[in-house]
Amino acid sequence: MAQYRRLSLMEREELSRMLAAGSSLRTTAQAMNRGPSTLSRELTRQHASPVTYRAVPAHQRAQRRAHQPRNPRKLAVQPRLRTAVFRLLAQRWSPEQIAHGLPQRYPDEPTMRISHEAIYTYLYVLPRGTFKRELARYLRRRHRFRRPRKVRRSSRPVQDIISIDERPPEVADRTVPGHWEGDLLVGHANASALGTLVERTTRFTLLVPLKAKDAAAVRQAFVRERRTLPAQLRRSLTYDQGQEMREHRLFTRQTKMRVYFAHPQCPWERGTNENTHGLLRQFFPKGTRFDQLSRAEIKRVQAMFNDRPRKILNWHSPAHTFNQLLH
């Protein structure tokens, strides 16, 4: 089946010349290698006769029609749906999360449905201005190019580590909850940081405010955060070989959690935590001064982050999935 092609400006000019010369639609269509019905529809759309048809105005009108939506956009005509979408965007939900989260929040309201593509389309066709910039600020951005890695100074390796190769199979296949991955999200000029702990099965994330980045401060903060969890959800921690985990043996004694260490320069061995850091950068961009954020502000982001539906969880939120384990 031949692919449909819109009439070009040159074809419209040829059509206008031949009609003005007295050629019939069928003769003109044969000369242009077009169907007679195509040319007949062109005249009908332009409300023109063979005598009054003009190529340039017809082409301009056709271009405008081609860029007009055939049906009004949902978000433009449904204010309640628009309000719900904007509210979730402000809570840092992605359009895909919104599209799958709305049916769970409004199960009996078919009008509260929209695709993620429709959300993106609506946002991108908004006219320039403060309102569009405000909405676009909530979307996640990706770097256009990879940034060069900085050369790190060598330091004394963490002693007496237990390799990730010794982790039980239940950790790798995520069949048993209570196994966590941890790391630091570094702030402005490498001067401050935020601790992150992610449960591998539910993706539930704990954000740990830190007074400092040294091993003692990190251990104390992580221990304090762990004590808020029930024993069945404190099984193990997987970490990289950063110097802030030098006191891992004391951490294990205080929490009864064994610490497993990934191989050097192998971030994919803690892929859940690395992915979480990418998502958290939407809330804490690079250059954030974590030492200027209060604990209440950090925990507010934690609650918001854990309340967003995740595709990996069949569009349930980490908070919902984690709470099911507690009851």
Same domain? For 317 and 169 the reply is yes
The separation between CA 45 and the C-alpha centre of its own chain, rounded to angstroms, equals 42
151 belongs to a structural domain: no
Same domain? For 255 and 300 the reply is yes
Same domain? For 275 and 309 the reply is yes
Residue-level pLDDT at 130: 59
Same domain? For 168 and 290 the reply is yes
Same domain? For 101 and 182 the reply is no
The Cα 243–Cα 231 span in angstroms is 27
Q: Which two tokens stand for residue 89?
A: 């965007």
Q: Where are the beta strands (DSSP E) in the chain?
A: 162-163, 179-186, 193-199, 205-209, 236-239, 258-261
Domain count, the chain: 3
Q: Give residue 310's domain range.
A: 164-324
Same domain? For 127 and 265 the reply is no
Same domain? For 193 and 301 the reply is yes
H or E segment and range at residue 27: helix 25-32
Residue 158 pLDDT greater than 90, yes or no? no
Q: Single out the residue of 247, 259, 190, 193 nearest to residue 220, CA to CA.
A: 247
* % of the chain at pLDDT higher than 90: 61
User: What pLDDT digit, counting tens, does each position of 279-298 carry?
Assistant: 999 999 999 999 999 999 99
Assign residue 254 the CATH number of its domain: 3.30.420.10
- Across residues 78-103, what is the average pLDDT? 91
Handedness of CA 111, 73, 84, 320 (dihedral sign): positive
Exposure string over 230-250, b if 16+ CB within 10 A, otherwise e: eeebbbbbbbbbbebbbbbee
Same domain? For 81 and 226 the reply is no
Residue 152 pLDDT greater than 70, yes or no? no
Which strand ranges, in their side-by-side order, compose the sheet holding 179-186? 162-163, 258-261, 236-239, 179-186, 193-199, 205-209
pTM, 2 dp: 0.64
User: What pLDDT digit, counting tens, does each position of 159-212 carry?
Assistant: 888 999 999 989 989 989 999 999 999 999 899 999 999 999 999 999 999 999
284 belongs to a structural domain: yes
Same domain? For 83 and 14 the reply is no
The Cα 115–Cα 111 span in angstroms is 12
User: Across all residues in the chain, what is the average pLDDT?
Assistant: 87
> Residue 166: CA atoms inside 13 Å, Cβ hemisphere, count?
9
User: What pLDDT digit, counting tens, does each position of 198-239 carry?
Assistant: 999 999 999 999 999 999 999 999 999 998 888 899 999 999
